[in-house]
Amino acid sequence: MTVATAAAGRLRGMPFLRRALPWALLICLLVCLMVPLLGGVALWLAIEPQPLVTQTPALSPDDIGRARQMLARNDPRGKLPGIQRSVVLSQRDLELLANQAGRRLGNPLGSLGELQARVRLQPGLAVIQASLPLAGIGPGGWINLDAVLHQTDTLPSVERLRVGRLPVPGWLAEALLPRLLGALELGAQGELAQRLVSRVTFRSQQAVLVYAWPDDPEQALSNTLLPPAEQQRLKAYAERLAQLSAELSPPGSRPGPVSMSQLLAPVFTLARARSTDAESAARENRAALLALAFLVNGRGLSAILPAAREWPQPQPLAVTLAGRRDTPQHYLVSATLAAEGGGPLADAIGLYKEVQDSRGGSGFSFNDLAADRAGTRLGQLAVRQPQLLQARLAQPLAEADLLPSVADLPEGLPEPEFRRRYGGIDAPAYRRLTDEIEARLDRLPLLAPPR
């Protein structure tokens, strides 16, 4: 007797099952048809033809200065764990943070546009709106988010959420948040934030975060910001740079200057060999730039990652570009920041440093500003066209491939002289010179915008 014959015999002896089976099959068929239909309706409701947020604040040197002061006041080093502290964030601070996070997360390979966010704070409530363009996906359109957070005795709760025209219950939004953070590879950061922050209070145009550092905060932060996979990736480049520095500066020899162009080819040859697709290439490029930035600035990766103290350490190198040691520092720091999604952040930090230099340092330098902009372009290419950039950088490079001639640009300008000649960073004379810098960068095949 076959299995099918035996099953049929059992069904003949069970009339209820014989009657229920066709209905069960029909219900299963309807569910199979309804799930994609409901998903399609939800997607149709979520996508809108116009953005909810059309204008967001731009980073300024003053924003960078305020952020530096805030970080200095809340530096975990030397702080006792478990002691409650508080930090006040303005409405503008939160908007800038949200937009910066959107650049880092929403556009890793240029397939999406940049997320734009708006934050409005009032006593007890926060209204957060965001728009993400779907350029390059289907017919385009916008994903618009409109959320209202309600203050509680601890962390805020979601009072209302709409995705386009699709309402999402608050309880469902909170239940899906861990899954969303996991999909964005931010699960560890979300867990750390919940461990640190015990209460959030909303005031008029301000939010107050009450937090306490855990035991060994440096280790907790490094493991959160650089997950184990990222740490292993960085280790590969630290080992390669240690090997390379030993070749360029053998023990007992008098080290001479090393051009930044000599470092890029071997490091990005390794990045190319370790990459399997565009996504992995972008990750490798980020790690390569970060390791290079710490090398040229004379600081080891142990400054941000305690585990790096056990890695091979590179020999000190006098890395130069255009005959200067500060130019590679500007270039690679800006490249690293841009590769992390912070093109505007890299530009603002570079401009902030020049403004500070004009107020008592070495003076405002358009040479340094050109190196910042060149680095920003390289960092953006590292994640938007990662495999193409790897192929280009893995080849022998001349310094002129990385930076145009900028020796004629003004530098060492004290603030009064800078303002007398250029009128400030928003004046036409300043803009004309920065436009000239952009035009020179456009003429470099490596850094030219895609046509």
Block residue for tokens 């979601």 = 158
Q: Does position 14 have pLDDT exceeding 70, yes or no?
A: no
pLDDT tens, 380-420? 999 989 999 999 998 888 999 999 999 899 989 888 998 99
Q: Which of these ranges, 28-42, 68-82, 360-374, has the smallest mean pLDDT? A: 28-42
Whole-number pLDDT of residue 36: 44
Residue 319 reports pLDDT greater than 80: yes
Spatial separation of the C-alpha atoms in residues 448 and 396, rounded to whole Å: 18
Mean pLDDT within 304-333: 88
Q: How high is the pLDDT of residue 127?
A: 92
| CA–CA dist 340, 287 (Å, integer) | 10
pLDDT tens by residue, 46-103: 687 888 888 777 777 777 778 777 777 777 766 777 788 888 988 888 888 777 766 6
- Which pLDDT belongs to residue 231? 87
Q: How far is CA 16 from CA 8, 21, 337, in A?
A: 14, 9, 68
Q: What is the pTM of this model?
A: 0.75
Instruction: Tell me the pLDDT of the chain averaged across its residues.
Output: 79
Higher-confidence residue: 25 or 416? 416
Q: pLDDT over 70 for what percent of the chain?
A: 75
Q: What is the pLDDT of residue 11?
A: 43
Higher confidence at residue 181 or residue 125?
125
pLDDT tens digits, one per residue of 100-142: 766 665 544 344 567 788 899 999 999 988 888 876 555 568 8
pLDDT at position 30 is 45
Task: Say whether pLDDT at 23 is over 80.
Answer: no
SS3 for 359-387 is CCCCCECHHHHHHHHHHHHHHHHHHHCHH
Region 37-44: what's the mean pLDDT? 46
Mean pLDDT of 153-166: 87
Going by pLDDT thresholds of 50, 70 and 90, the confidence category of residue 306 is confident
Cβ atoms of residues 358 and 418 within 8 Å: yes
